[in-house]
């Protein structure tokens, strides 16, 4: 049974209650009431309302403003405006602004039900059309990658452009921003998608080990080499190789890799014959390779070979717009996985998560939601389901605490951010919006070093 989510917004509680009572007779309707537009809009993205019934005259935002905002956030959302008796002008204005219908007060329940039914039929039609488009499109779209912020839309556009080419790609971004995911999406959208996509993490290995893994060896190349071993580059022939944490690759190995990238020929360890290999290279790093080149920690020539196209993934705290979408995505993912029927998160939780700087980026958010879905006994995630250090970020908690002076507050906040970033000073300075030198001065002043 298809369900519909309806919000009723009226500053007179009795009207909201009446409408809710009238509509709730239809079991497919889930109705929530609000006293002002702001709180309804805040909930809109979390819940994904299909229909808003909104009083034209409200405290704060007007009904028309709510209508426009709602359309911006969820274009398929229908709005029925309720106007005071006889105000024809505002009704005309409402229709111009794109309201599907309007009703005049006092609202007759029979009329209302009919209008609601018709608006929702339109919602169903739009949804079916979207689903169809989605099905046609989904083969090409990196649909599992969530994001609607400007920065992520740029990333998607870039993926689209470079995927079909054979150019090497360098993906940079903090840990947990989705580098591996993007690499996979590029492979899947390239002409090589039927061929292997092989990942190798260069972190923490010696040159010998990496050479052995990437290039393979001939039988008898060294003691213990009892069989010929095919390396990962050879195994990825005609496909893609993903070299993760490329910044960790020892210097001597960088030279060998450069030779391979330039010649596209490979010599197994202990081998004599060069084998031509056709492979696309995608490299990733959570450090700034250009800075590493400047510090002579990474070879410049190799950097230029890898960095034909650069995809820079922004940290999650730089794209707060994506947080509600990601919450929804992971909520659905883990509800399905755990056989639960979670509907959303409380506005408290949304508030806390919008303020948290996520040093572990999307991976951290995913873990938080997974844990919360597993713990929750309700249909909605509440702040009780969050880890305790996060719960402390709640405004409610801040309000009940004894009042601090501005200085004490500043000290406490700096302390908090330092702890969250594991004393990563430049990151902390960035989050706090302070020049690094100012942060150091303040840390000294408050004895936080």
Ligand X SMILES: Nc1ncnc2c1ncn2[C@@H]1O[C@H](COP(=O)(O)OP(=O)(O)OP(=O)(O)O)[C@@H](O)[C@H]1O
Considering the rule CB under 5 A, would residue 180 count as an interface residue with Mg ion? yes
Binding segment for ligand X (CB under 6 A), chosen from 249-257, 359-367, 399-407, 431-439, is: 359-367
The whole-angstrom separation of Cα 76 and Cα 50 is 7
In the bound state with Mg ion, the residue whose beta carbon lies nearer, of 30 and 180, is 180
DSSP class per residue in 176-229:
TSSHHHHHHHHHHTSTTTTS-EEEEE-TT--HHHHHHHHHEE-TTSSTT--S-E
Please tell me the count of residues contacting ligand X according to CB under 6 A: 16
Report the nearest approach of ligand X to the CB of residue 444 (Å): 32
Name the binder of 228 from ligand X, Mg ion, none, CB < 5-8 A by kind: none
Cβ contacts of 116 within 8 Å, gap of 6 or more: 6, 23, 29, 51, 53, 80
Binding segment for Mg ion (CB under 5 A), chosen from 128-136, 179-187, 224-232, 326-334, is: 179-187
Name the binder of 63 from ligand X, Mg ion, none, CB < 5-8 A by kind: none
Cβ contacts of 40 within 8 Å, gap of 6 or more: 7, 9, 34, 49, 52, 54, 66
Structure tokens that stand for 145 in this block: 């990658």
The whole-angstrom separation of Cα 296 and Cα 292 is 6
CA distances (Å), origin 279, targets 78, 216, 243, 361: 50, 15, 12, 31
The whole-angstrom separation of Cα 270 and Cα 264 is 18
Beta strands in 89-174 (DSSP E): 101-104, 169-172
Report the nearest approach of ligand X to the CB of residue 329 (Å): 6
In the bound state with ligand X, the residue whose beta carbon lies nearer, of 74 and 181, is 181
Considering the rule CB under 5 A, would residue 30 count as an interface residue with Mg ion? no
Residue 381: name the closest of 389, 390, 371, 366 by CA: 371
Report the nearest approach of ligand X to the CB of residue 18 (Å): 42
Report the nearest approach of Mg ion to the CB of residue 170 (Å): 14
Cβ contact 391:416 at 8 Å = no
Report the nearest approach of Mg ion to the CB of residue 172 (Å): 12
In the bound state with ligand X, the residue whose beta carbon lies nearer, of 284 and 349, is 284
In the bound state with ligand X, the residue whose beta carbon lies nearer, of 145 and 293, is 145
Long-range CB pairs of 106-110 (<8 Å, 24+ gap) are: 107/15, 107/18, 107/19, 107/82, 109/22
Residues 291-350 that bind ligand X (CB under 6 A): 329
Residue 4: name the closest of 75, 78, 82 by CA: 78
Place of tokens 């602004």: 97
In the bound state with ligand X, the residue whose beta carbon lies nearer, of 16 and 315, is 315
Binding segment for Mg ion (CB under 5 A), chosen from 177-185, 403-411, 424-432, 437-445, is: 177-185
Considering the rule CB under 6 A, would residue 178 count as an interface residue with ligand X? yes
Binding segment for ligand X (CB under 6 A), chosen from 141-149, 186-194, 208-216, 231-239, is: 141-149
In the bound state with ligand X, the residue whose beta carbon lies nearer, of 239 and 314, is 314
Binding segment for Mg ion (CB under 5 A), chosen from 20-28, 47-55, 178-186, 326-334, is: 178-186
Considering the rule CB under 6 A, would residue 151 count as an interface residue with ligand X? no
Centroid of chain to Cα 206: 34
Name the binder of 175 from ligand X, Mg ion, none, CB < 5-8 A by kind: ligand X
Binding segment for ligand X (CB under 6 A), chosen from 174-182, 336-344, 389-397, 424-432, is: 174-182
Report the nearest approach of ligand X to the CB of residue 287 (Å): 10
Binding segment for ligand X (CB under 6 A), chosen from 48-56, 93-101, 169-177, 339-347, is: 169-177
| x/- map, 260-289, ligand X, by CB under 6 A | --------------------------x---
In the bound state with ligand X, the residue whose beta carbon lies nearer, of 37 and 359, is 359
The whole-angstrom separation of Cα 395 and Cα 400 is 9
Q: Tell me if residue 54 falls in helix, strand or coil.
A: strand
- Residue closest to ligand X, measured at CB: 178
The whole-angstrom separation of Cα 296 and Cα 227 is 38
Which residues are near ligand X by CB under 6 A? 145-147, 173, 175-181, 286, 329, 362-363, 366
Which residues are near Mg ion by CB under 5 A? 180
């Amino acid at each position: 049974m298809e369900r519909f989510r309806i919000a009723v917004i009226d500053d007179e509680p009795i009207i909201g209650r009446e409408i809710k009572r009238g509509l709730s007779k239809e079991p497919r309707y889930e109705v929530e009431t609000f006293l002002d537009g702001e709180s309804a809009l805040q909930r809109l993205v979390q819940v994904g309302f299909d229909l808003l019934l909104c009083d034209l005259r409200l405290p704060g935002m007007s009904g028309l403003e709510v209508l426009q905002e709602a359309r911006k956030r969820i274009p398929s959302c229908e709005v029925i405006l309720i106007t005071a008796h006889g105000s024809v002008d505002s009704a005309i204005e409402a229709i111009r602004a794109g309201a599907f219908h309007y009703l005049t007060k006092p609202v007759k329940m029979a009329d209302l039900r009919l209008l609601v039914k018709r608006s929702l039929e339109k919602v169903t039609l739009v949804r079916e059309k979207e689903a169809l488009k989605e099905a046609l499109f989904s083969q090409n779209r990196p649909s599992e990658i969530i994001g609607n912020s400007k920065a992520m839309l740029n990333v998607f556009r870039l993926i689209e452009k470079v995927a079909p080419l054979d150019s090497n790609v360098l993906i940079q971004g903090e840990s947990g921003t989705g580098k591996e995911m993007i690499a996979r999406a590029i492979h899947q959208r390239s002409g090589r998608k039927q061929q292997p996509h092989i990942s190798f993490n260069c972190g923490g290995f010696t040159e010998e080990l990496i050479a052995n893994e990437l290039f393979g060896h001939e039988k008898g190349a060294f003691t213990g080499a009892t069989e010929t071993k095919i390396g990962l580059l050879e195994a990825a022939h005609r496909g893609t190789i993903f070299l993760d944490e490329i910044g960790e690759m020892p210097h001597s190995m960088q030279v060998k890799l450069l030779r391979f990238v330039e010649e596209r020929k490979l010599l197994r360890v202990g081998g004599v014959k060069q084998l031509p290999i056709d492979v696309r290279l995608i490299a990733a790093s959570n450090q700034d390779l250009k800075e590493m080149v400047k510090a002579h920690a990474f070879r410049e020539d190799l950097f230029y070979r890898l960095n034909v196209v650069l995809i820079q993934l922004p940290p999650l705290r730089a794209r707060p717009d994506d947080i509600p979408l990601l919450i929804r995505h992971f909520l659905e993912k883990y509800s399905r996985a755990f056989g639960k029927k979670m509907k959303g998160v409380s506005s408290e939780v949304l508030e806390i998560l919008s303020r948290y700087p996520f040093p572990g980026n999307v991976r951290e958010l995913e873990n938080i939601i997974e844990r919360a879905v597993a713990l929750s006994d309700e249909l909605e995630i509440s702040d009780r389901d969050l880890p305790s250090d996060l719960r402390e970020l709640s405004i409610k908690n801040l309000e009940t605490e004894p009042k601090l002076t501005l200085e004490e507050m500043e000290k406490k906040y700096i302390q908090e951010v330092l702890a969250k970033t594991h004393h990563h000073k430049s990151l902390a300075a960035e989050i706090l919006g302070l020049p690094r030198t100012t942060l150091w001065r303040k840390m000294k002043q408050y004895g936080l070093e």
